[in-house]
């Protein structure tokens, strides 16, 4: 075995299946192992401007290992576009209209034409943009996403169709087709195309769908009046292998059209869309034929539902694995049939509990306790969500009120609860870490109501930092990611000093950039702790490009006033593997 592991190609094959956290561990074994692992650590990079010159120097040193590059903040491209020789995936984020920048982008694609497999445009390009032309001429391209462009050259489309024969995913947003260019998609132009995302199902877009004989996933971005006959033609004649359907609002004119579509669609495995449209589909007399095969459902606007449809789905779909964006009423759970989705792994739901019926908390927890395969549970809520409802209660998750019933969720990795009726106590957090051994993420919001200093914030030093110091063994053993969130108005320089002292005492690592003056004063840019942990400060109007949290991990920046300490002992398994933000 030792001899086998000494061969570079064998080590390389092993490393490709490891997580980023494991890569960092392997890099500490020996210099030989580090040489095999470091290219995988730098496999994916998100580049933003700012930081010391050493930052770019390190990126340059490892640029040959980069296969996935996300470029943000337009001018950074000028500095780095020549470095990357082996790119396979390229994301342009916030790239602007400047001709100079677009030329560099086009040259970056041209240099990697014979290695690029995926290109995403998150910007508006000119009609005759060179970067757009170059993207259509990459022979290995499998995934293409672009918006705000005009396709007007027939010869360009001919080259695109002949060159990109391996294309499997195509996303079109705000794309206009000049003259008869879209007719180039006739026949079986893209025999390998399996996923299409578009705005409408009409005109040129219908011609594209007619060319996708092997289409398996269709996403409609915008609602628009749809000809039922045209849509039926597409899904019954041309796209007969469709199994994933996502839409905001099909814009069908009458209820009869819903039944026709539901009958014509092959049995769906995944369904996404607005609650209104899904409600119409579910209520149709023929839609139950899809329940047996349905594995994932995602709703976009749960406020249009009263919980009845969500209860029906959970009690009718035995193979459901993911259910996101649903609204559940505890009274429906109590009176309705039991859930049959015993394989459910991902549940994100708003759960309404009548404030005068405390026993409903136990009813909900008993039902949740049956989902023994659950890995992700998110029940966070916003106060405004209940403004138009008679049920204004919030699910209570405390010991003695139902939390202990969830001990059966031994596979739980992610637990996110936004607003709670009452704050958690330290015994609740300790119970979770012991009952759920696979837990890697807990989110808890210390809330402010009517301008009153919340009890949770008062307890932040005594509870929060006690957990960081006395309970550090829990964190290191479970790779726990614990969030404390409180309003910015309660941030004191004293509190930040306590954070520093606590982190130093527990041997944590901090590498950050933030806009809060007190935080900048308290934390020096050179503060480095021996072991790996990350801290992020999320402040209103912070520049997303200036926030880089540790060398290894990316965190979302929320555009609202909040102060967040994100403590991650190692990489969360729910994060994208092999991602470096630099």
User: Mean pLDDT across the stretch 300-318?
Assistant: 71
The whole-angstrom distance between residue 109's C-alpha and the CA centroid of its chain comes to 26
Q: Is the pLDDT of residue 347 over 80?
A: yes
Nearest to 180 by CA among 152, 205, 208: 152
Q: How many CB atoms lie within 10 A of CB 528?
A: 9
State the pLDDT confidence band at 182, using cuts at 50, 70 and 90: low
Who has greater pLDDT, 445 or 578? 445
State the pLDDT confidence band at 367, using cuts at 50, 70 and 90: very high
Nearest to 68 by CA among 83, 54, 55, 84: 84
- What pLDDT is recorded for position 281? 60
State the pLDDT confidence band at 454, using cuts at 50, 70 and 90: very low
Who has greater pLDDT, 469 or 272? 272
User: Mean pLDDT across the stretch 159-186?
Assistant: 70
State the pLDDT confidence band at 539, using cuts at 50, 70 and 90: very low
User: Mean pLDDT across the stretch 540-566?
Assistant: 27
pLDDT per residue over 277-299, tens digit each?
A: 566 666 555 566 677 888 888 87
State the pLDDT confidence band at 343, using cuts at 50, 70 and 90: very high
Work out the angle at residue 511's Cα, subtended by the Cα atoms of residues 505 and 512, and round it to the nearest 5 degrees: 120
Q: What's the number of CA atoms in the CB half-sphere (13 Å) around residue 347?
A: 30
pLDDT per residue over 132-171, tens digit each?
A: 777 777 777 888 877 666 666 666 677 777 777 788 888 8
The whole-angstrom distance between residue 216's C-alpha and the CA centroid of its chain comes to 21
- What pLDDT is recorded for position 95? 55
Which residue shows structure tokens 């982190």? 503
pTM beyond 0.75: the answer is: no
Q: Is the pLDDT of residue 418 over 90?
A: no
């Amino acid at each position: 075995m030792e001899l086998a592991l000494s061969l570079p190609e064998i080590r390389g094959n092993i490393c490709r299946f490891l997580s980023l956290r494991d890569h960092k561990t392997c890099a500490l074994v020996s210099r030989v192992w580090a040489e095999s692992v470091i290219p995988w650590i730098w496999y994916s990079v998100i580049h933003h401007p700012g930081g010391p010159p050493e930052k770019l120097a390190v990126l340059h040193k490892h640029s040959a290992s980069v296969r996935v590059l996300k470029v943000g903040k337009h001018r950074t491209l000028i500095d780095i576009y020549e470095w990357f020789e082996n790119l396979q995936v390229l994301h342009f984020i916030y790239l602007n209209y400047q001709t100079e920048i677009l030329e560099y982008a086009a040259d970056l694609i041209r240099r990697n034409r014979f290695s690029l497999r995926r290109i995403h445009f998150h910007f508006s390009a000119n009609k005759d943009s060179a970067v757009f032309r170059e993207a259509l001429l990459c022979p290995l391209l499998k995934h293409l996403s672009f918006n705000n462009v005009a396709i007007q050259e027939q010869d360009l489309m001919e080259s695109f169709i002949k060159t990109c024969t391996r294309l499997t995913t195509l996303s079109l947003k705000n794309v206009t087709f000049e003259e008869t260019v879209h007719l180039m998609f006739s026949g079986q132009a893209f025999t390998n195309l399996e996923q299409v995302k578009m705005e409408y199902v009409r005109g040129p877009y219908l011609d594209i769908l007619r060319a996708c004989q092997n289409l398996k996933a269709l996403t409609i971005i915008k609602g628009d009046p749809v000809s039922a006959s045209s849509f039926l033609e597409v899904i019954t004649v041309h796209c007969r292998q469709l199994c994933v359907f996502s839409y905001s609002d099909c814009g069908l004119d009458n209820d009869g059209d819903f039944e026709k579509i539901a009958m014509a669609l092959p049995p769906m495995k995944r369904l996404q869309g607005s609650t209104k449209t899904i409600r119409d589909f579910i209520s149709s007399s023929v839609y139950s034929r899809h329940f047996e095969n349905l594995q994932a459902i995602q709703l976009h606007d749960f406020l249009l539902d009263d919980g009845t449809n969500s209860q029906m789905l959970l009690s009718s779909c035995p193979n459901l694995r993911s259910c996101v964006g649903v609204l559940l009423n505890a009274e429906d759970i109590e009176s309705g049939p039991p859930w049959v989705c015993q394989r459910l792994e991902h549940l994100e739901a708003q759960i309404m509990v009548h404030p005068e019926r405390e026993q409903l908390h136990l009813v909900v927890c008993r039902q949740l306790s049956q989902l023994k395969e659950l890995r992700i549970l998110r029940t966070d809520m916003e106060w405004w969500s209940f403004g138009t409802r008679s049920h204004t209660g919030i699910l209570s998750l405390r010991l003695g009120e139902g939390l202990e019933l969830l001990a059966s969720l031994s596979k739980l990795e992610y637990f996110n609860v936004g607003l709670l009726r009452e704050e958690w106590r330290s015994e609740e957090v300790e119970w979770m870490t012991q009952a759920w051994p696979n837990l890697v993420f807990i989110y808890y919001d210390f809330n402010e109501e009517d301008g009153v200093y919340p009890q949770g914030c008062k307890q932040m030093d005594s509870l929060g930092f006690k957990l960081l110091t006395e309970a550090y063994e829990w964190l290191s053993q479970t790779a726990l990611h614990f969030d404390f969130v409180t309003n910015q108005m309660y941030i004191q320089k004293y509190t930040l000093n306590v954070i520093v002292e606590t982190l130093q005492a527990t041997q944590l690592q901090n590498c950050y950039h933030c806009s809060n003056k007190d935080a900048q004063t308290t934390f020096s840019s050179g503060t480095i702790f021996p072991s790996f942990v990350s801290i992020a400060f999320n402040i209103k109007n912070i520049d997303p490009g200036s926030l880089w949290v540790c060398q290894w991990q990316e965190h979302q920046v929320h555009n609202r006033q909040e102060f967040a300490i994100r403590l991650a002992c190692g990489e969360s398994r729910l994060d994208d593997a092999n991602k470096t933000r630099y």
